[in-house]
Structure 1
Amino acid sequence: MPIHPTAIVDPGAQIDASVSIGPYAVIGPHVRIGAGTTVGPHTVIEGHTTIGRDNRIFQFGSIGAANQDKKYQGEPTELVIGDRNTIREFVTLHVGTVQDKGVTHIGDDNWIMAYTHIAHDCVVGNHTTLANNTTLGGHVELGDWVTIGGLTGIHQFVKVGAHAMVGFQSAVSQDVPPFMLVDGNPLAVRGFNLVGLRRRAFTAERIAAVKQMHRLLYREGRTLDDARAAIAKLVETTPEAAPDVALMGNFLAAATRGIAR
């Protein structure tokens, strides 16, 4: 096991033999780390934290620390991190709370840049990109393929739908529907994430359906209920986009803070 002699690894930690741990890192007793993961110098991994395979954790990270909820009394809540994530310098990832699901969960293949903070009970999907100084309040949910610009703050309990993109230095206090392109303070919808969809090989028909969903939500003066009903009918003319229409419909039905307009 390539553990630097200056690292402090509690005997109770479950570390795969292939894990690399750098100088002066500290690993707590309830930590589990999967094969192929590397832990950079001076990183602290504590709490009930489970880390999957082939993650790259850079120096000075704080992973699995007690959350910053004043109600937290040291309950054995968790942080669960999937596979193949890149976690850059000075990232802070906290355990959950018993007031919610008790778990902060980060999926697979995420690119989490320097100084990002992911608070208690957040759910981060797969293939997301969180640029420097992204700050997620407690209970935030990010769908797959979400991109967040640097210096952006996301209010607690906000949901950002799959394939959405949030621009640099934005203040996000309402839910952001899937596929949308938003930025600013106050936040505004600027369009839909056409470049991202093309990069993910969306067909012309699916992109056209997303464009129509954007139009129905934001360009025709409809009420939200009317827009939802019209969006649901898009499957009749574009059956190929049925999963995208379902994604949007389910998101709008579950929105709790109102949607960004």
Structure 2
Amino acid sequence: MVELKTRAELEVMREAGRVVGTALQACRAAAAVGVSLLELDDVAAGVLADFGATSSFQHYHPHFAPTPFPRVMITSVNDVIVHGIPTTYRLRDGDLLSIDFGACLNGFHGDAAMSFVVGTAAPADLALIETAEKALAAGIDAARVGARMGDISHAVGKIGRAAGYGIPEDFGGHGVGRRMHEDPSVPNEGKPGRGLRLREGLVLAIEPMFMAGGQDKYTIDDDGWSLRTVDGSQAAHVEHTVAITADGPVILTAP
């Protein structure tokens, strides 16, 4: 069921989003050559504690995963598209890192992700990230009262396809509210003018995921969580939680 949020509820969600934005910025600042993924997870956990918030991810157990997610942050390195579990792996010069974080505060969730390069960046990786960010901006701009879900999906997908990138099948954005994953789903590719009509108070996580190799298929690691490109090419993932309002789209997870 699709739930619309009141103005008061959107203000509460903005506070949850502020926790998310703060944690992502703190982890980006801490990410450096030699830092482990578990150490970044600890940084994110510290932000949760500072705000009195709880993790949207830790212990979350969706139908596709064999076990609950064990940490508070998702850390996906290089050819891992999404859902990477933090480990003792230490970041290396040139790693493309995608971090995804969710927080719950006062009963409402926020969810966002960013991708960046640690140390020396390959031009192709910067182009991949920039394209994902452009697609996110286009998807957000399409999230307006009276538009259709397909308008968001088309805005995201056409930018990725024009660059020759792959888009993982079956994974995309979602509604956000009292649960981290709510209806409706937000595909990263679609036809404009189709799908659910967007209404004031709808809150969506819009999250482009692009794969540099151009293929849409992926593999799943033995951990049952990490999605990986089939050809070993790099991947990028960016995301914001966005409210659809009468005044236009409002990003709730800006730092």
Higher Rg: 1
Which structure carries more relative contact order (alpha carbon 8 Å, separation 6+)?
2
TM-score (norm 1): 0.28
TM-score (norm 2): 0.28
Structure with the largest fraction of helix: 2
